[in-house]
Structure 1
Amino acid sequence: MIGGEKVPIVCPYCGFGCRIYAIKKGNRIQIEFVKDNPTVNQGSLCPKGIASLDYVLSKDRLKAPLKVSDRGKFTEISWKKAIEIVSKNIKEIAKKQGPEALGFISSAKCTNEENYLMQKIARMMGTNNVDHCARLCHASTIVGLAKTVGAAAQSGSYLDISKANAILIWGYNPAETHPVAMRYILAAKDNGARIILVDPRRTKTGWFADYVLRLIPGSDVALANAIMNVIISENLYDASFVNDRLVGFEQLAEHVAKYTPESVENITGVDADLIRDAART
């Protein structure tokens, strides 16, 4: 990075993909909002992005590889030496115990290209033991999205959120975890959208919701069935969309018929009238 040069980078602290500029001035690095070519974050940053420099400039930040000694103390070594040690150990393990004894764990903090290189190294060594931290948080959404919309990824753009008439937020607190995403939700609210929040916790997102369904933990399925019961029994759904795009709707309607709001009130802890109001929104 040349001194004073603006380098476009992507904030690494969530999957939102906010763009910022990194600028080196002397021995220090600064960040600057992208105003000339705003992307998904529209030239703004959330508190995590703004605080990114705290990590870069922290006196506790590791700037070189560390190797533990026999006495349990860490000492700095060169990158060249670290790479030599790691590659030697990997090859020795593969030779003595076979490639299945190796495991490679990557990170959501890395770029797509870096994660791609990680799995290339694993396959070069003859193993498919590649894991990723997102498996613990994103795996369930992969299954759900693949079965419902046919793709295991976000199915719309953030701009679509701001155009919505009603937004259902389930077990998610974007006001604190993804403040930039919350900007789009609030834009929709300013345009007249109603916001329904389902969450057992009291969160900042609840400050902006029109309906807060504070359910008993573990009763999500019962509540979802009751909401669908109201939508189907009162014909609040788009019949043409259902006929053209859905498979198994008749079986779903039959299954949720017994889940009236009154029948799940004690299970979920949510008032039956509140369930109906949310479903009718």
Structure 2
Amino acid sequence: MVDFKRLPSPDDLLILLTVARLGRFNAVAESLGTTHTTISRRILALDRQLGGRTLERTPQGWELTVLGTEAVEAAEAIEVSLGALSSRIAHDDDALSGLVRVSTPDGFGSRFVTPALVRLQRDHPRLNIEMLSATRKVSQNRSGVDLEVVVGRTEIANADPVFLTNYFLRLYASPGYLEERGAPAGLEDIRHHSFVSYVESALQVSELGHRSSQLPMPVSTFQSTSIFAQVEAVAAGAGIGLLPSFLVADAPGFVPVLPVEFQRQLPIWAVARPESLRSAAVQAVVGAIRREIAERAAALAS
């Protein structure tokens, strides 16, 4: 006879799995609809059942011990079995369910990640999505999300980058602005113009800002942490903007400025911890984003 008192709690194993994926007790508590204290208490109970520590605190956040890695493997098997059972009970072949938390830059997120995830959720209605807008480098710490979509370099330990695509930043202005101020004849003429870009002091991804572009300093600047505010500022005649082409290339009211002389190509990556990438739901999210990109490759190449 199985002595169930000596077996670790399946609920606690699944909590550990969520901690391994999200890395922060607060994020886990939000995901599971409970409290930080409860998560901590359940992990301690699991440690007692297993006879050792499953997590250790590091500068990057909570990381699995060797025992924790073994426990997570068992938790993943439980998760798969419960998903299959839930599908059979519901007479539904769809095994994708649960919550996936995705962090993404707002421009790329709105134009590519959002339609990809809406389509995925339509095919898998038991899947829940939380999308957080963040234009930042890949987090060196446990980020509290299952998947980070980031621009630029991805040097980080204990996480796997998946290349998604490249895109272009180019210079744009409104017809009204160019009529009033004149079009620059060369890059050096930028110094005689107003410029629209990110707030440099708040910018984590330096490649997105004016300061790293090697362009001369303009007469004045309009800076915003929101790419959509920048797009609106350029449309309203605030100045020449350094904007993603996929946002404005086909939009009326945006004129390319010095398109031969200047452009910047940047990569976009999806980054996740190994525990997250083994999740069927996270794999499905990455696949959906890649399909959206493939179907609309022309928009990113423009």
The two structures share one fold, judged by TM-score above 0.5:
no
Relative contact order: is structure 1 or structure 2 higher (C-alpha 8 Å, sep ≥ 6)? 2
Q: Which has the higher strand share?
A: 2
Calculate the TM-score normalised by the size of structure 2. Answer: 0.27
Larger radius of gyration: 1
Alignment TM-score, normalising by the size of structure 1? 0.28
